[in-house]
Structure formats: structure tokens, C-alpha cells
């Protein structure tokens, strides 16, 4: 079902390019070429899904004064968009690559840009404007799990601060779930490595790349910043 959908999507893209299906010049010859393309697409083993930048659930300015609109706009429309664009490019190259060496060489680009897309998509969902409840302490099962494991919500913030500040260079600090042990854990990943690479399910992520805070905080006041991020969750 998914394959059929994908096939028709990619057919649609091809046909938009050639203008022969949706346009008014649908005739016998173009229908046979349409069929030829249909056969060729069927033979492809991968879908050509194109990833897109997800919209935010709020406006750029809604997280102020904690995170400036300028940072949000840059972070979303430039950094995240670049990851998405380059991820699509790398996937395209992967599709047409037949040489094993070329395929393996693409892995770092896929890992970096795909990870960047995944991580930032999670990140935008983690944040909420103060007027919609962002910044309030967690409640319910999550709150009790936090209290059980870390002692208190404040202790968790302190731990996230410490781990985030210890990240060398660029990376992320996470609150994750170990599904096997059923425990929470604070972990860090380097560059754009996704948390799944550490075997944890991401619950909350904080981007500690410098681009995430540099325009606003100017220097590495990481601890206050991470507190702001968590408060915005």
C-alpha cells in the first residue's frame, strides 16, 4: 500500500515535470511513456520520499523572552532546513549509488543530516510558549518517574546542566528512556548523532550547539540556558 502510494507520488512528480499527464496534452504516445515510467518505478527498491521542514506549533516570537525570535527563525529556517535539504541530497545520491564504497562514503552525510533533521524535529516539539504551559514543571507519571530516579525535578535540571556543559564542541543533551530497564537517563550525543544511537528513546532534547544560543546569550552560560529550555517544555 505504501509502495503503491509512493510509486504514484513519484509518478506524479515525473509527470508534473513533463506536463504530459496533468496538462491538456494527454495523448496516446505520452500514455505509453507513462506506462514505461510506471514499470521503471516499480523496479526501484527504495521509495523516493522527500523530507520536508516541519512547521512549528507556535510563532517564532512565542518563546520570548527565553529564546529570541531571531534565534528561532535562524535555527528553523536556516540550520534545520539545511539538514533537511542535505539529507534529501544524500538520499538521492544513495539511490543512484551502486558502488559499495560510494554507498559507505555517504553514511556520514546521512548520519549527520538525517540526525540533524530527527533531533531538531523532536526539539521543536519539546518547546512550548509560556502562555501554553511551557515552562511548568512536569506532572503525572513523568513527574513521579523523575522524582524516583533523580530525587527531584531541580536535581534533574542540575544534572542536565552539568552534562550539557560537559559536551565538547557540538552536541545534544537528552532525557531519555531505557525501554528495557524502564528507567530514565540523562545522556549526551555528539554533533547530530540521534539518541537512538545510545539505545534510548528521546523524551526531551536540548540543542547545545553554539548556534542554538549564541546570538542571545553571547557566552557559554550553559546552565542558565538549559534551565530555560527545560522550563519551556
Residues that bind another protein (CB under 8 A): 74, 78-79, 82, 108, 112, 168-171, 190-192, 209-211, 214-215, 218-220
Least distance from C-beta 201 to another protein, angstroms?
Answer: 24
| CA–CA dist 150, 84 (Å, integer) | 35
Asked whether 170 and 232 are in contact (CB, 8 A), the reply is no
Least distance from C-beta 13 to another protein, angstroms?
Answer: 29
- CA-based torsion, 112, 168, 232, 147: positive or negative: positive
Nearer to another protein, 37 or 215 (CB): 215
* Rg over CA atoms, the chain: 22
Q: Name the β-bridge partners of 202.
A: 176
Closest by CA to 61, choosing from 120, 118, 116, 127, is 127
DSSP summary character for residue 23: S
Nearer to another protein, 100 or 169 (CB): 169
C-alpha cell, 7: 510509486
Nearer to another protein, 29 or 219 (CB): 219
Nearer to another protein, 5 or 214 (CB): 214
Least distance from C-beta 81 to another protein, angstroms?
Answer: 10
Least distance from C-beta 113 to another protein, angstroms?
Answer: 9
Nearer to another protein, 90 or 146 (CB): 90
Least distance from C-beta 78 to another protein, angstroms?
Answer: 4
User: 3-class SS at 98?
Assistant: coil
Nearer to another protein, 18 or 170 (CB): 170
Q: What are phi and psi of 15, to 5 degrees?
A: -70, -30
Least distance from C-beta 169 to another protein, angstroms?
Answer: 4
Contacts 24+ apart (CB under 8 A), 18-26: none
Amino acid at each position: 500500500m505504501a509502495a503503491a502510494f509512493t510509486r504514484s507520488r513519484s509518478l506524479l512528480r515525473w509527470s508534473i515535470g513533463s506536463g504530459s499527464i496533468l496538462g491538456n496534452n494527454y495523448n496516446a504516445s505520452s500514455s505509453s511513456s507513462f506506462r514505461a515510467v510506471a514499470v521503471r518505478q516499480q523496479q526501484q527498491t527504495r521509495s523516493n520520499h522527500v523530507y520536508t521542514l516541519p512547521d512549528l506549533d507556535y510563532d517564532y516570537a512565542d518563546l520570548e523572552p527565553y529564546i529570541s525570535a531571531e534565534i528561532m527563525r535562524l535555527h528553523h529556517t536556516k540550520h534545520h532546513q539545511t539538514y533537511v535539504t542535505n539529507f534529501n541530497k544524500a538520499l538521492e545520491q544513495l539511490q543512484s549509488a551502486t558502488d559499495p564504497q560510494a554507498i559507505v562514503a555517504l553514511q556520514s552525510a546521512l548520519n549527520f543530516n538525517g540526525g540533524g533533521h530527527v533531533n531538531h524535529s523532536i526539539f521543536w516539539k519539546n518547546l512550548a510558549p509560556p502562555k501554553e504551559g511551557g515552562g511548568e514543571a512536569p506532572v503525572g507519571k513523568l513527574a513521579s518517574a523523575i522524582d524516583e530516579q533523580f530525587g527531584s525535578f531541580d536535581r534533574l535540571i542540575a544534572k542536565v546542566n552539568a552534562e550539557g556543559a560537559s559536551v565538547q564542541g557540538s552536541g545534544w543533551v537528552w532525557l531519555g528512556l531505557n525501554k528495557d530497564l524502564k528507567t530514565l537517563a540523562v545522556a549526551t550525543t555528539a554533533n547530530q548523532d540521534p539518541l537512538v544511537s545510545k539505545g534510548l528513546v528521546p523524551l526531551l532534547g536540548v540543542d547545545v550547539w553554539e548556534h542554538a544560543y549564541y546570538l542571545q546569550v553571547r557566552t557559554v552560560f550553559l546552565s542558565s540556558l538549559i534551565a530555560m529550555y527545560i522550563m519551556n517544555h
